[in-house]
Every structure is written in C-alpha cells, then in structure tokens.
Amino acid sequence: MYDAGVRCRLLSFAEIDLWGKDAFEFWIENKPPDVRIFLDSGAYGAFTRGITIDIKRYCEYIKEHADKLHTVASLDKIGDWRGSARNYDLMRAEGVHPVPTVHMGSPDSELRRILALEDHIALGGVVGATQNTMSPWLDQCMRTLRDFWPKKVHIFGVTAQWALERYPFYTADSSAAILGGGMGRVSAFVEGKVTVMGWQDYAKEFYDGDVMDHIANVRAKKGSAHVGRRVINVSGQLKLQKHISDVWRKRGVVWEDETCAQFMGPSVEASTIACSTASDSPLGTVVETVDEASVTS
C-alpha cells in the first residue's frame, strides 16, 4: 500500500498477534518517515470475535511506540458508552492521551462532555447504518460541535462521498478499498464521483488485466487478482481524499499541523452560509488552519 501512495495508515491493535502482524512490522517497526499511523484498539472487530483486549497491554504498547504513532484511539466498550468513558479515564491514568470515540446512540451530554475535554475526538458505532439513519445523528453532532469549534473529528468506518462532502471531518477510515478488492470490486474516482463496479465490467471498459482473476501478473491463491484491484481502489480513495480536501478548502476549512482556528458566525444557520460551496453543510462558515483532510486507508 505504501507503493500505491498511502501515507496515512490505520492499524488495529486487536490484530497485532494475528493477520496484522506483518502490517505492524512494516508500518510500525520499520515505519517510513513520511507516514502517519493511526492506532485503533480494534474493539469492534474483537467484540465480533469474542476477543478481549488487555487495556494495560494496549497502553504499554502505545507508550513504547509513542514516537511512531500520530494518533491513538481509546479502547471502546461496544454497546456501553459508560464503559467506553471509563476506559478513556483508565488510559489517561496510565499516562496515555487517546482520542475518545462517541458512538451513535450515545447521549448528546456525553458528546458535550468529551468536546469540553478534548480538541480531537472520533465518532463511530455506525456499522450497518445507512445514509438515512446516519445523517440525522451526524447532523445533530455537528450542531453540537458548533458550540465547541474548532475540533478535529475522525469518523470511523465511513468514507462515503456524501458524508465526507457534508461534514468537515479531520480524518476518516474504512476497509472498503481492501475488502472490496478481495470481493472482486473495483472502485475508481472519475469526474468527481466514486464509481464502483465488478472487475469484469471494469476490465471490459478499461482493458486492464491487473484486475482480472487468472489473468493478472500478480495473483494470489485460486488466481485471485485482488492485489491489483486493491491498488486501483486505494488510488481511487486517494483521489477522493484530494477532492474532499479541495472541497473544504473552498469552504474555508484547511487542516495544518497546529490548531489555530476561528469559527466565523456561530449563529449563522446552514441555509444562510456565505460560502458558495457550503450551502448544505450543517456546521456553518468555518475558517481554520489546523493537517490536510486525509482519508486513512
């Protein structure tokens, strides 16, 4: 993935002893200097497989590799926002400063509590959610965020174009590029839109043998060309990243390394925003200098 242009990488601590072992060796132990690592606890994946993550081991790993990690996430307790809050407090007591996550379904009071404490938070718990079920919650989160702006917000498991264009996230992640390639899907960013198609249709249109099972030069077991498809998917995701950064730059949101921002017109309603391209944003007119919006692959 590094050769494909990935410079922002999310790793799941739950996989450090499993299939993610090689990824940790490359991205952490031999980390290229121009790469930013976001370490997630992997709580959701662990929950679905009945695995328990040792919070003390997680904290010790973070402290031992602090110079390699750009961002670390708090250890969530899936389905229990109070338990997640306790884990966040425990990690801070261990000398770690993680990014806390507010999950869909948590009370607005918890979001406000976290925003009052932190300049960098995450939103998550949207597995299985659709645009229709997710957007009302995200809209409410952004209305709350207006009272605390500027804040860096990561969104877990979402790289849908509609969401990235509507909300001023600092970073976002999903496994769509990797899993999609393995399932035979090719995702390209063409003429300002993400287009997803099966590899057969993509190969017919673009005459690209790298995506074709049994034909590609780089094939896995049973002739799968998932490696070639993943490279194309990542390339499309990086093009989407640039597009999203450009969209928000035009709206006045520019992410740099240091937080130094001003929220212009906190009482302005979304329908009256002066930005020419931000009429559908629920946040408001924002002027900020804080790391270019990046989609974490």
Is 185 within a domain? Answer: yes
Q: Is 92 exposed, middle or buried (0-12, 13-18, 19+ CB in 10 A)?
A: middle
What is the pTM (predicted TM-score) of this model? 0.79
Is 71 within a domain? Answer: no
Rg (CA), the chain: 20
Q: How many domains does the chain have?
A: 1
Mean pLDDT of the chain: 77
Is 219 within a domain? Answer: yes
Which of 29-43, 139-153, 163-177, 258-272 tops mean pLDDT?
Answer: 139-153
**Res. 212 pLDDT band, cuts 50 70 90:** low
Sheet containing 36-40, strands listed edge to edge, beginning at the edge strand earlier in sequence: 8-12, 36-40, 71-72
Is 133 within a domain? Answer: no
Is 273 within a domain? Answer: no
Tens-digit pLDDT profile for residues 64-99: 999 999 999 999 988 888 999 999 999 999 999 999
What is the span of the domain harbouring residue 229? 180-234
* pLDDT the model gives residue 216: 45
Is 194 within a domain? Answer: yes
* pLDDT the model gives residue 112: 96
Average pLDDT over residues 197-222: 56
More confident residue, 118 or 2: 118
Average pLDDT over residues 206-216: 53
DSSP 181-226: HHTTEEEEEETTEEEEEEHHHHHHHH--GGGSTTTSSS--GGG--H
Between CA 208 and CA 199 the distance in angstroms is: 9
Tens-digit pLDDT profile for residues 107-134: 999 999 999 999 999 999 888 888 999 9
Is 202 within a domain? Answer: yes
